[in-house]
Structure 1
Amino acid sequence: MSIQNDVLSFPILIGDIGGTNARFAILVDSYAEPKAFPVVQTADYATIDEAIQAAVLDRTSLQPRSAVLAVAGPVDGDEIDLTNCDWVVRPRKLISELGLSDIVILNDFEAQALAVVALGEEHLERIGSGIAEEAGSRVVLGPGTGLGVAGLVNSRRIWIPVPGEGGHVDLGPRSPRDFQVFPHLEPIEGRISAEQLLCGRGLVNIYRAVAKADDKEPAFSTPSEITAAGLEGADPIAVESLDIFVTCLGRLAGDLALIFMSRGGVYLTGGIAQKIVPALKNGKFRAAFEDKAPHRALLSAMPVFVITHPTAALTGIAAYARTPARFGVETAGRRWRGA
């Protein structure tokens, strides 16, 4: 059954649950702005049930009747494992323990895709040239704890999010310098996926590999340290690592733009993208994005934006909860109802 033909009952609990942080809000009705709650560190709670009770329900007199939760991982079955977090989402248990009557579970980057058509220009930072076609397909990707990817296509006047696990595609060397650095990258089960480079730990992976390639000792060990040193120009290894990061992100973004024919734009989201806007604007990202012969002209016409809204996924979920008929979200196997 599709939710667009069977709306949820207000108040609606909405949540964006990533590998490190979880963000919750309650949507009282279709007109009100979501009532937001403090960001939850997933490591602070043993289960999502405890987090919702302590961080949301214990802080308000509002009792949600329904919930739409976006989780970082594939939604498959009654027990949903998060990719980079120990939480397991059990919708039937949430219904019984939290007094809910209806739950829909989405992929977290499906929610990010929904946000793309819900955000205004004031929440978008343009990277390079290109003009977005109003009904053109779009791609969202975001390096964070992991690497999320989703598409958004317009068909029969509704927006259809396309969730997936695009962050786990292969990513290989291309330039002569890549062939010096890539042998020193830490693989997973013998391969280098995009997520092994394009996330927080991926930046550390790149930094260590650059240091090893040049037989130097790394000075930093965290993504924030490397990012800061790279942006400030304070450490040559960090500077090059950040350049490699944005170049590889540009290559992948260009690949995805071709796959989805993203004339509506490519959207970078998450905390890392927001922090490295100066690096994304130095030309290397856009050059890699457009370097897709024989389709360079096609890519140069596609715009790229960084989403700067701090809770973009919640904005997307709220838009969907208010007017589900605007979105073609398939809920078969992803919707649970109470007795």
Structure 2
Amino acid sequence: MVHDNEINLHADLHDDEHAVVADIGGTNARFCRINLTTFEIDRIEVFACADYPTLTDVMVAYRESQDVPLEHVAIAIACPVESDSIQMTNHHWKFSIRGVRKALGLKNFIVLNDFAAAAMSVVTLKDDEKIQIGGGAAQPKAPVAVVGAGTGLGVGHLIRISKDEVMPLPGEGGHADWAPTTEKEWAIHRFFASRYGRVSAERLLSGPGLEGLYLAIANYHGREARPLNAATIGKLALNGHDTLALETVNQFFASLGSFAGNLALTLNTRGGVYIAGGIVPKLLPLMAHSEFRTRFEHKGRFCDIAEAIPCYVIKAEHPGLRGVGQYLKQKLEKKRGKA
């Protein structure tokens, strides 16, 4: 669900069509100013969430630091957005959307789930801001899926409502059960289950998941391995200095392919499956030689459908900021009677 306090949404903007948008996670809050015509962003500033008692405090800090008026504001946030009351999952901030709007005198204030914002960013992407990984041509009016591996595993969808309006569908698909399909994957499943009980897709397809996979695969081969962080595993795999790291990354891509293919079938996303998040772009040189696309298409009687659906890796910087800006723009245009 998207909650945007729509009853009080104003359609006016400054002549320069600027707004303030933010992408807020459990650790950092990234703010910027965005031009809602060109989607160019500037005045980017990142704040440590732990340094501020409330969301309102960090918004005031941005306004004072950048000398930017807070009138039209939209934020993407890493937690469910289902009502006026917001409680962050991995941070202590809790706030009322209406309360923040009133306290700061905002004309518009929209709050989106972070992967609803990631889904909205798809319509802002230029051709050189995405890399196609297999499949055919995307169908412009068909649903889209977005999956992103980073600190966790985010999932969202996008559907077209009309010629000029799209709707993001946030979800918690990253917490669906992980389904092993090979003997090695069953061994990996047992390794994770011994630690966590239930094994979700996010347990593997994330930064912490990459670290766990490294140890699980070592255990499968009967090898001793010291824990490494995800960045180190990625670097070792890329430079070819560690066969275990390379096998770990290959397994990551194989499992991501299976998961992304499942998403494609769930909503028949002939508009494409977009890969966001911080991990995949850094490991992109290894993706082409992995099992990602093979596993994406390995869907039994529905292979033909899966083979036709394109995947894209998002190269654009700050897609969440652009996505939440796109949502605000769409809402304002609808109020003006343009949509």
TM-score (norm 2): 0.87
CA distance in 1, matches of 2:71, 2:291: 48
CA spacing shift, 1:77–1:308, aligned 2, 3 Å: same
1:24 shift after superposition: 1.3
1:293 shift after superposition: 0.8
CA distance in 2, matches of 1:188, 1:279: 29
CA distance in 2, matches of 1:290, 1:182: 22
CA distance in 2, matches of 1:7, 1:253: 38
1:135 correspondence with 2:167: no
Aligned to 1:37: 44
1:136–1:262 Cα contact (<8 Å) kept:
yes
Aligned to 1:192: 199
AA partner of residue 153 (structure 1): I
AA partner of residue 69 (structure 2): Q
Farther off after superposition, 67-76 or 208-217 = 208-217
The structure that is helix-richer by fraction is: 2
1:68–1:104 Cα contact (<8 Å) kept:
yes
1:244 aligns with one of 235, 251, 264:
251
1:65 aligns with one of 71, 75, 81:
71
1:64 shift after superposition: 1.4
Aligned to 2:262: 255
1:9–1:66 Cα contact (<8 Å) kept:
no
CA-to-partner distance for each residue in 1:183-236, whole Å, 9 max, x for gaps?
112577621011111111111111111122223222442110011112222112
TM-score (norm 1): 0.87
2:145–2:157 Cα contact (<8 Å) kept:
yes
CA distance in 2, matches of 1:252, 1:325: 35
Map residues 40-119 of structure 1 onto 2, 5 A cutoff. 40-54=47-61, 56-119=62-125
CA-to-partner distance for each residue in 1:20-63, whole Å, 9 max, x for gaps?
43221234665673433223343444433333232x21222221
Residue aligned with 1:126, SS: strand
CA distance in 2, matches of 1:247, 1:98: 47
1:304 shift after superposition: 0.5
State percent identity of aligned pairs. 34
1:303 shift after superposition: 0.7
AA partner of residue 176 (structure 2): V
AA partner of residue 125 (structure 2): L
1:84–1:145 Cα contact (<8 Å) kept:
no
CA-to-partner distance for each residue in 1:62-102, whole Å, 9 max, x for gaps?
21113211111101334322233343344344334434243
CA distance in 1, matches of 2:186, 2:35: 54
Structure number with higher relative contact order (C-alpha < 8 Å, ≥ 6 residues apart): 1
Q: Runs in 1 of length 4+ with deviation above 4 angstroms?
A: 1-9, 28-32, 186-189, 325-328
CA distance in 1, matches of 2:234, 2:79: 26
Farther off after superposition, 281-290 or 77-86 = 77-86
Q: Name structure 1 gaps, 5 residues minimum.
A: 329-339
1:232 aligns with one of 234, 239, 256:
239
Aligned to 1:203: 210
CA distance in 2, matches of 1:98, 1:156: 34
Q: Name structure 2 gaps, 5 residues minimum.
A: none
How many residues align structurally? 327
